[in-house]
């Protein structure tokens, strides 16, 4: 790979980091070509973009992107494959599924909406992450619940409330 090709790859990786906002770095070293192709196929089916690149090029792409990726730099050793996705949990679920048939891929690090997860032991945490939309939905549901209770109480006790208001007016 010549200098211009490396530069083009760094630019492409930088654009993908900015476009997707979520990525996983995995170790797929020593896997057969057939196994890597099977992983690529599964990634495609799950709407995940898979890119094998040298660690130095991945690091340069991160440095060119907005955000602090420095905690990830320490895991950029050995063979690295980067998985780009719009879904924060899809690669974690895919890795878990692939691990049923082998020891790899191994999660080195993940970057999800500016949060950094380091190490393969974070896989279950990543699988259970809720999307921004899910969290907003839960918060709205929690906020609506007390308001519904107040309205329900006012409607069911309308006669009592009217009596209390009338009594307070008479005393005032």
> pLDDT value at position 142?
73
In angstroms, rounded to a whole number, what is the distance separating the alpha carbons of residues 99 and 84? 19
DSSP 25: E
Contact 7, 56 (CB under 8 A): no
The per-residue pLDDT for range 11-31, each reduced to its tens digit, is 999 999 999 989 999 998 888
Q: What are the φ/ψ torsions at residue 83 (nearest 5 degrees)?
A: -115, 120
Low-confidence ranges of the chain (pLDDT < 50): none
> pLDDT value at position 66?
82
Three-class SS state of 113: coil
Nearest to 102 by CA among 169, 170, 153, 30: 30
> pLDDT value at position 84?
94
> pLDDT value at position 169?
72
The CATH number corresponding to 3-127 among 3.30.365.10, 3.40.50.920, 3.30.70.920, 3.30.70.1730 equals 3.30.70.1730
Model confidence, pTM = 0.75
């Amino acid at each position: 790979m010549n200098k211009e090709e490396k530069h083009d790859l760094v630019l492409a990786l930088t654009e993908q980091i900015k476009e997707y906002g979520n990525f996983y770095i995995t170790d797929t070293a020593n896997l057969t070509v057939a196994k890597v192709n099977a992983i690529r196929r599964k990634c495609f089916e799950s709407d995940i973009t898979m890119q094998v690149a040298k660690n130095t090029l991945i690091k340069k792409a991160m440095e060119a992107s907005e955000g602090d990726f420095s905690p990830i730099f320490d895991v950029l050793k050995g063979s690295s494959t980067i998985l780009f996705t719009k879904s924060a949990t899809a690669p974690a679920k895919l890795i878990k599924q692939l691990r049923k048939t082998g020891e790899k891929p191994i999660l080195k690090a993940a970057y999800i909406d500016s949060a950094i997860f380091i190490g393969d032991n974070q896989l279950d945490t990543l699988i259970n992450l809720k999307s921004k939309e899910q969290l907003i939905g839960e918060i709205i549901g929690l906020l609506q619940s007390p308001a519904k209770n107040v309205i329900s109480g006012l409607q069911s006790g309308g006669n009592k409330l009217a009596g209390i208001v009338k009594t307070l007016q008479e005393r005032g």
